[in-house]
Amino acid sequence: MRPGLDAILFDLDGTLVDSVGLILDTYRHTMRAYAADPLPGDDVWLARIGEPLVDVLAPYAAQFGVPIDTIVATYREHYVLHHDDRTRVFDGVFDVLEGLAARGVRLGLVSGKSRVGIERTVSFTGLDRFFRVRIGADDCPTGKPDPGPLHLAAARLGADPARTAYVGDAPVDVRAAKAAGMWAVAVRWGPFPPEVIDPLGPDEVVEAVADLARLVGVDP
């Protein structure tokens, strides 16, 4: 593990769990429910993965003339209905987390999801046992790429941001980590190509979960 590093924060969707397809389908469903024509392309939603759902959907609520709570409820109803069939942990993730936990590394989770969404995913997948600190969109007044959620997680872990890494797949994750003064680790198994991530200057880029294991000092 990087010398001097004693805490690691993780993003959830696209980093620990394969759920991006479900997220994109749910955005499409939500737009169709309000007769958006033409539908925004998936690139629109991908560009904002990791941000709080309310922030992403607010412009569309205004466009459709419906309360933001209504459009968010439409999204969440579809997401919950299909969650268990469309969500799985990436191969090798449990091995990495178990290795880190065995070594006493402090672990935290920072996601753009609501707390209810986080709890649903970590409970269903079994990831809940690794993370006593879980920060979601409703735990902090600002969302990624603002560093606030990462700083809150570090504070609850009793960790120094300068000795903490944040591991994520999305542009907002890299930006948030750098803004927080943390070691920014970008993973390649999410939906974002190198030309989107690399110009942001992550401190490390990890191609596969096994490479992440080696990077943080855990035998794959």
Q: Number of C-alpha atoms within 13 angstroms, CB side, residue 172? A: 26
In the set 6, 11, 42, 169, the catalytic residue is 11
Pairing of strands 88-89, 183-187: unpaired
Is 6 a residue of the active site? no
> Collapsing DSSP states into helix, strand and coil, what is residue 89?
strand
Distances in whole angstroms, Cα of residue 192 to Cα of each of 43, 48, 77, 141, 164:
10, 11, 26, 26, 23
CA distance linking residue 132 with residue 156, whole number of Å: 9
In degrees and rounded to multiples of 5, residue 213 shows phi and psi of -60, -45
Name the nearest CA neighbour of 144 among 10, 20, 23, 50. Answer: 50
Q: What angle do CA 55, 60, 66 make, to 5 degrees?
A: 105
Q: Which two tokens stand for residue 184?
A: 């920014």
Rg (CA), the chain: 17
Just list the catalytic residues: 11
